[in-house]
Structure 1
Amino acid sequence: MACNQSNHSNESSSPEMYLIIWLTFPLSTVIILANLLIIIGIIYNRKLHNTPNYFFLSLLFADLCTGLALPFIPSMSLERHMKFSNCLVLHIVPNFLLLSFLFNLVMVHYECYFCIVHPLQYSNFWVHRYVPLALPTVWILPLFYASLPAFGWNKRSPNQSCEDCFYKYIFPREFIYLEVYGLLIPAILAIIFMTVRVLWITRSQVKDICKLHRSVQRDEPSDKEHRMNMRYAKCVAVVSFIFIVCWVPYIVYVNVSTIALWQDKGESSTEPKTHIILSCIGIGSMAVIPVVLGFGNRQYTKPIRKGLRKLWDRCRKGNGTKDVTNVEVVLD
């Protein structure tokens, strides 16, 4: 009887699966291709083979894996029928990839933050000196936490006649609350704090440079000062845009999902389609952050631009030779 109910839930979830496919596949494809382009640009540029870019390369790989796992994350809210071992893999792997992405993002921001706040001590910084130790850390810690349900921290009932696959059977409430308010939210707040701190230091340095420039020139603000202020204003605008477009949807999704879980007494308190849309928009927008940072650095996209330029020149030369041969035929 329980098996029939789970099969019925699978049939009723088919419209939700179509919605997940239509929402996640285009976004997942864009994220995967964009990360591959930036990864190729970093690998083929030997000048970029240094500590900061190693961490950013690890972030790009984590973002690439998040793009691959993106179609599976919203499907966690759907109840299906499969073996418990397969259900564990279906829930643990996407959760691990999402956590590893966030850990890598925090590490990239922390490395940049320490370089700017303590430039004289950066060469002795443990992250800078022990890169082979720091890089596995941002992958092993998420793997350890995400694998806890496989070691017994789950809500599987021994009295179940059928092994229904649902996220509530894999992740206890305490596990979800600890992950959200012990890992995700503090990581986002740390990223915001480090970004604001770096912008504040940059603003004070720009003011000092302008004061020194005016003390030497003794005249009105020059074009250099205007350019520096404009660059700083653009940087603040880009950071604000990334926060509003990329972080706010994810924060809303996490809190709405946690509140719905807290109010849930048995059945789902939110519509599956609403949860699917929020998860796709929230996680997809967050996964775009490394892509925006990567394409914002011209050094990362230099090999790509060179390849496109060569391809464009070949196309123009090919069209030019065809035009010349057509002219010669007409003249003959």
Structure 2
Amino acid sequence: MESDELEAREWLISCITIPLSTAIILANLVIIVGILYNRQLHNTPNYFFLSLLVADLCTGVALPFIPRMALERSLNFHTCLLVHTFPNFLFLSYLFNLVMVHYERYLCIVSPLHYSQCWVHRCFPVALLAAWVPPLLYASLPAFGWNEWSQDEINVNGTLNQTVGATGCAVDPLDDNGMCSYRKVFPTAYIYLEVYGLLLPAIFLIAGMTGRVLWITRKQLRDICKLHRAGVRDQASVGEQRLNVRYAKCVAAVSLVFLLCWVPYVIYVNVTLKWLKADGKSQNSTTHIILCCTGIGSMAIIPFILGLANRQYTDPARKCC
């Protein structure tokens, strides 16, 4: 019976994630080719965006494996760590790259005259490493001992019955028939630290920078309109109306992206933490699988939406079509 339920959940995950994963991978490849094809786009801002596209492509590849992290499977210790920590690293690197892209564009708009002197522009390799190295270090913590296996062995047997390698890490506490679960790989404190210390602050930071950019744009638009009205005797012109319409469209687009891409993921995170605080058994349910697939999948399409905003990225694809 348990085997049939596991197969049904695996089938549901595949039906939802494979189309999403394929679309994300193809969309990122199209924009990556567009950036590499156009030499005019070979500059620091587009290198940051290219790094984001690579991270998003990797997230698309790992998307079918992320919902499976909540399923209990028969895996050995090393394989269990790999199938949990590696997708987590790809997802965190995607989020860090997304923050870095928004931060770079935020600096460009807030201080355009001093942008070339900012550390993001002058120390591009350091900024790029800041988007990849911290996620790798944090995702690797379970492999360096921050997991539940050693604690379980101590609680059950009173001693640590596992082999310790040369690095001091616990090795193979499970045999080939052991059950692998995210609850053994990620302690509760690790999950809460990742959610409240990394994920949600990153989302709020992106939202704050986007809101600040829209506020600055609105202020500049008002100044332009005042200057224009001073020259045409306080009469609104067609050009002023067009500017207001374009700004309204921009605000509507940003709001729509936030509702479609960020809200499902925030709901998924809060529901997951609620189940985790209860007993964790509901995390294998159909509702949790659907929330996980749609929440992460919707957030992974943000780079594609940002890429569509720049026609230079999609010029090769349009020419081919």
Say whether 1:281 aligns with 2:274: no
Please give the per-residue CA displacement for 1:68-96, whole angstroms capped at 9, x wherever unaligned. Answer: 00000000111000111000000001100
- Any residues of structure 2 matched to 1:53-132 within 5 Å, and which? 53-132=46-125
What is the CA distance between 1:11 and its match in structure 2? 4.3
Q: Which runs of 4+ in 1 moved over 6 A?
A: none
SS in 1 for 2:261: helix
Farther off after superposition, 110-119 or 174-183: 110-119
- Any residues of structure 2 matched to 1:261-280 within 5 Å, and which? 261-264=276-279, 268-280=281-293
Q: Tell me the equivalent position of 1:330.
A: none
The one-letter code matched in structure 1 to 2:99 is V
SS in 2 for 1:298: coil
The one-letter code matched in structure 2 to 1:97 is L
What is the CA distance between 1:163 and its match in structure 2? 2.2
Matched residues, number: 299
SS in 1 for 2:146: coil
Which structure has the bigger radius of gyration? 1
Please give the per-residue CA displacement for 1:221-249, whole angstroms capped at 9, x wherever unaligned. Answer: 11111111111011001000000000000
Give the one of 246, 255, 258 matched to 2:270. 255
Q: Distance in 1 between matches of 2:124 and 2:250?
A: 29
Q: Tell me the equivalent position of 1:196.
A: 211
Say whether 1:13 aligns with 2:6: yes
Farther off after superposition, 46-55 or 175-184: 46-55
Q: Distance in 2 between matches of 1:64 and 1:272?
A: 27
Q: Distance in 2 between matches of 1:247 and 1:10?
A: 34
Say whether 1:226 aligns with 2:219: no
Say whether 1:51 aligns with 2:47: no
Q: Distance in 1 between matches of 2:320 and 2:288?
A: 42
Give the one of 201, 206, 211 matched to 2:221. 206
Q: Distance in 1 between matches of 2:224 and 2:200?
A: 36
Say whether 1:241 aligns with 2:256: yes
Q: Tell me the equivalent position of 1:294.
A: 307
What is the CA distance between 1:219 and its match in structure 2? 4.5
RMSD: 1.3
Decide whether the 8 Å contact of 1:10 with 1:80 is kept in 2.
no
Q: Tell me the equivalent position of 2:183.
A: 168
Report percent identity of matched pairs.
Answer: 61
The one-letter code matched in structure 1 to 2:271 is V
The one-letter code matched in structure 2 to 1:151 is F
Farther off after superposition, 45-54 or 186-195: 45-54
Question: Alpha carbons of 1:38 and 1:175: their partners in 2 closer, same or farther (altered >3 Å)?
Answer: same
Give the one of 127, 134, 142 matched to 2:127. 134
Decide whether the 8 Å contact of 2:116 with 2:122 is kept in 1.
yes
Farther off after superposition, 218-227 or 177-186: 218-227
SS in 1 for 2:276: helix
Q: Distance in 2 between matches of 1:145 and 1:25?
A: 27
Please give the per-residue CA displacement for 1:253-299, whole angstroms capped at 9, x wherever unaligned. Answer: 011101110111xx603552111000001000000111111112111
Q: Tell me the equivalent position of 2:319.
A: 306
Decide whether the 8 Å contact of 2:264 with 2:298 is kept in 1.
yes
Q: Distance in 2 between matches of 1:66 and 1:202?
A: 32
Please give the per-residue CA displacement for 1:166-215, whole angstroms capped at 9, x wherever unaligned. Answer: 00000000000000000000000000000000000000000000101111
Q: Distance in 1 between matches of 2:191 and 2:214?
A: 33
Decide whether the 8 Å contact of 1:106 with 1:187 is kept in 2.
yes
Q: Tell me the equivalent position of 1:315.
A: none
TM-score (norm 2): 0.90
Decide whether the 8 Å contact of 2:70 with 2:284 is kept in 1.
no
Q: Tell me the equivalent position of 1:3.
A: none
Q: Distance in 1 between matches of 2:93 and 2:185?
A: 19
Say whether 1:185 aligns with 2:178: no
TM-score (norm 1): 0.88
Structure 2 runs not aligned, ≥5 long: 157-173
Q: Distance in 2 between matches of 1:45 and 1:206?
A: 31
Decide whether the 8 Å contact of 2:28 with 2:57 is kept in 1.
yes
The one-letter code matched in structure 1 to 2:53 is L
SS in 2 for 1:299: coil
Structure 1 runs not aligned, ≥5 long: 1-7, 309-332
Farther off after superposition, 212-221 or 250-259: 212-221
Say whether 1:155 aligns with 2:170: no
Decide whether the 8 Å contact of 1:59 with 1:105 is kept in 2.
yes
Q: Distance in 1 between matches of 2:234 and 2:64?
A: 59
Farther off after superposition, 219-228 or 25-34: 219-228
Say whether 1:24 aligns with 2:20: no
What is the CA distance between 1:10 and its match in structure 2? 4.4
